Amino acid sequence: MTATDTHRAIDAVWRIESSRIIAGLARILRDVGLAEELAQDALVAALEQWPQSGIPDNPGAWLMAAAKHRAIDRLRRSKLLERKHGELSRELQARQERAVADLETTLDDDIGDDLLRLMFTACHPVLTPEARTAMTLRLLGGLTTDEIARAFLVPEPTVAQRIVRAKRTLAEAHVPFEVPRGTERAARLSSVLEVIYLVFNEGYTATTGSDWLRPALCEDALRLGRILAELAPKEAEVHGLVALMEIQASRSRARVGSAGEPILLLEQDRSLWDQLLIRRGLAALERAQELGSALGPYALQAAIAACHARARTPEETDWPQIVSLYEELAEVAPSPIVDLNRAVALAMAVGPAAGLELIDTLGLEASLKSYHLLPSVRGDLLFKLRRFTDAQSEFHRAASLTRNAREREFLLDRARACTTESS
């Protein structure tokens, strides 16, 4: 195996094992920042040693043992842990003396809880949404700072600063490395789900740049969602989020044309939809429905996505059911975005005039003034009503508001089509 092959193998192992290593160390050290630092030290050791010695039979155990040895050395040198010496040093010393296989076993006993603790810590509300996202991708996704920066099209130093500040904030706030209980758990779980879905959405419909899709981010979010569903199997909204992401991701191949241009839902080739992801999404939705008497926001959105997934053609879509589901969603999670989507569904179920009437009530919403999809949807409904001049103006306005190059060109094409239709 060449050095390049070894480095690729190390990268693959790191993506799989890093969150487990960091979570296990954080449980012992009660310091996420220090845990990541020691895990990174183990990665450096692997990069230095494996090209000469070869990849170990159990690379994850090797990395865990290397990180733990560094943790033990750090604790021995630290005077800050004198008051915990009797408790922690004995535990760590015992683990140091065991074989690597035994070390791995002792951590695996609690690895599920460790990963869940790490998720709740990385997504703690004390952090900004941007910091939560960066920390989650770094600690649980195994992404480098450069990879996170490229995924979100921001400078690498910006991401690095977010991560450094996040670690400092967690330390200064004395955030416990634990799974919250009672009433706090629901609020904290909501933060975790929000971060995962934010990552997915940035991959599913990129807000900036020249690409309409960033599949790697969708895959990272799906992986995190699936892990969370295994760790918290009785949380209905976790399964609801997984269902939503699985079904939405099933359309990825059909959402872009040969030149990377966007293709809208009703114009997609449904034979390209991934049926395996749809089946997985419908199964997750069923679990959410079995666990909760009333569906939460993610499960309701998944139910809407399921209506599209079950329709073999656009004409078979159950639009009245979708309108009803959006009305339920507006009750549990009211927002102008939900109302905008409900207007689209109403236009499909009743007619474009009904949808336009609802959209015109949203024009004064401050949160939608810079939201490009409001004029985009309005332009589409005006086009269907053959008000081409008004539609063209809305498409131009939408194009001026979007930050995605592919979407801008798509909207300008819609505006040019208005000229053709009106002539």
Q: Where are the domains of the chain?
A: 1-110, 123-175, 193-311, 318-368, 370-423
| Residue in the structure block whose two tokens are 């990268």 | 11
Can you read off the two tokens belonging to residue 79? 């005077």
In the 8-state DSSP scheme, what is residue 256? Answer: B
pLDDT at 60: 85
The reported pLDDT for the residue numbered 404 is 86
Contacts of 111-114 with CB under 8 Å at 24 or more apart are 111/20, 111/23, 111/24, 112/230, 112/231, 113/27, 113/179, 113/231, 114/20, 114/23, 114/24, 114/26, 114/27
DSSP structural state of residue 87: I
Predicted pLDDT of residue 159: 92
Residue type, 372: H
* Confidence at 101, pLDDT banded by 50, 70, 90: very low
Per-residue pLDDT tens for 242-291?
999 999 999 999 998 888 888 999 999 999 999 999 999 999 999 999 99
The pair phi, psi for residue 318, each rounded to 5°, is -85, 80
pTM beyond 0.85: the answer is: no
Quote the pLDDT of residue 400. Answer: 95
Instruction: Give per-residue pLDDT as tens, 392-403.
Output: 999 999 999 998
pLDDT number for residue 389: 95
Long-range pairs for 188-194 at CB < 8 Å and ≥24 separation?
A: 188/120, 188/123, 188/124, 188/125, 189/120, 189/232, 189/235, 189/237, 189/238, 190/237, 191/123, 191/124, 191/125, 191/132, 192/119, 192/120, 192/123, 192/228, 193/237, 193/238, 193/241, 193/298, 194/123, 194/129
Q: In this predicted model, what pLDDT tens digit does every residue of 325-360 receive, in sequence order?
A: 999 999 999 999 999 999 999 999 999 999 999 999
The position carrying tokens 């949808």 is 355
Measured from the Cβ of residue 245, the count of other Cβ atoms closer than 10 Å reads: 31
Give the pLDDT confidence of 353-384 residue by residue, as tens digits. 999 999 998 877 888 888 999 999 999 999 99
Question: Where does the pLDDT of residue 104 fall: very low under 50, low under 70, confident under 90, or very high at 90 and above?
Answer: very low
Range 123-175: architecture per CATH = Orthogonal Bundle (1.10)
111: Cβ contacts below 8 Å, ≥ 6 apart = 20, 23, 24
Mean pLDDT for the stretch of residues 311-321: 96
The secondary structure of residue 208, as a DSSP letter, is E
Q: What angle do CA 202, 159, 26 make, to 5 degrees?
A: 100
Q: Is 108 helix (H, G, I), strand (E, B) or coil?
A: helix
Confidence of residue 83 (pLDDT cuts 50, 70, 90): low
Tokens encoding 336: 């102008």
Q: Give Cα separations from 289 to 41, 206, 286, 298 (angstroms).
A: 44, 30, 5, 11
Find the length of the chain: 423
The better pLDDT of the pair 88, 75 is held by 75
| Placement of tokens 């499960």 in the chain | 299
Q: Quick check: helix, strand or coil at residue 234?
A: coil
Q: Is 2 left (phi over 0), alpha (psi -120 to 50) or beta?
A: beta
Whether 296 shows a pLDDT value over 80: the answer reads yes
Structure token pair of residue 403: 């930050």
Residue 251's SS3 state is coil
- Which class for 167: exposed (0-12), middle (13-18), buried (19 or more C-beta within 10 A)? buried
- 20 vs 112, higher pLDDT: 20
- pLDDT confidence of 99, banded at 50, 70, 90? very low
